[in-house]
Amino acid sequence: MRFPSDDELMAGPNALDGALEDEGLGEGGALVDDDAAPEGEGLEDADSAIAESAEAELADLRRLRADAGAGLVAPEYPEGFRAGFVSVVGRPNVGKSTLTNALVGEKIAITSGRPETTRHNIRGIVHRPDSQIVVVDTPGYHRPRTLLGRRLNDMVREALAEVDAVVFCLPADQRIGPGDRFIARELRDVRAPKVAVATKTDLVGRERLVRHLLEIDRLGEWAAIVPVSALAGEQVGELADVLADLMPPSPPLYPAGDVTDESRDTLIAEYVREAALEGVRDELPHSLAVQVEEIAEREPRPGRTEPPLLDVRVNIFVERDSQKAIVIGRRGTRLKEIGTRSRAQIERLLGRRVFLDLHVRTAKDWQSDPKMLGRLGF
Ligand SMILES: Nc1nc2c(ncn2[C@@H]2O[C@H](COP(=O)(O)OP(=O)(O)OP(=O)(O)O)[C@@H](O)[C@H]2O)c(=O)[nH]1
Instruction: Show me where the domains of the chain are located.
Output: 73-246, 264-375
Confidence band, pLDDT 50/70/90 cuts, at residue 2: very low
54-80 pLDDT per residue, tens: 556 556 655 555 555 555 545 578 889
CA distances from 289 to 48, 101, 349, 375 (A): 43, 22, 20, 11
Ligand 1 centre from 93 Cα, in Å?
Answer: 5
Ligand 1 centre from 173 Cα, in Å?
Answer: 12
The complex scores an ipTM of 0.98
> How many other C-beta atoms can be found within 10 angstroms of the C-beta atom of residue 8?
19
Residue 94 is labelled as binding a ligand: yes
User: Looking at ligand 1, which residue's alpha carbon is closest to its atom 4?
Assistant: 200
Q: What are phi and psi of 4, to 5 degrees?
A: -55, 150
d(CA 207, CA 6): 29
Instruction: Quote the mean pLDDT of the chain.
Output: 82
Please determine, looking at this structure, whether the domain spanning 264-375 carries the CATH number 2.40.30.10: no
Q: What are phi and psi of 246, to 5 degrees?
A: -90, -10
| 140 CB burial (10 A radius; 0-12, 13-18, 19+) | buried
351-373 pLDDT per residue, tens: 999 999 999 999 998 988 888 88
Mutation test of ligand 1: which of 6, 9, 89, 93 has the most ligand atoms closer than 8 Å to its C-beta? 93
CA 92 to chain CA mean position, Å: 9
Q: Average pLDDT, stretch 341-352?
A: 93
Decide whether any atom of ligand 1 lies within 6 Å of the 200 Cβ: yes
Q: Which amino acid is at 302?
A: P
Beta strands in 236-309 (DSSP E): 289-297
Which of 3.40.640.10, 3.50.50.60, 3.90.1170.40, 3.40.50.300 is the CATH number of 73-246? Answer: 3.40.50.300
Q: Is the pLDDT of residue 204 over 90?
A: yes
Q: What is the pLDDT of residue 141?
A: 85
Residue 305 is labelled as binding a ligand: no
d(CA 194, CA 96): 15
Q: Is the pLDDT of residue 85 over 60?
A: yes
d(CA 328, CA 125): 36
Q: Is the pLDDT of residue 3 over 60?
A: no
Q: What is the pLDDT of residue 48?
A: 46
d(CA 238, CA 259): 20
C-beta separation of 121 from 136 below 8 A: yes
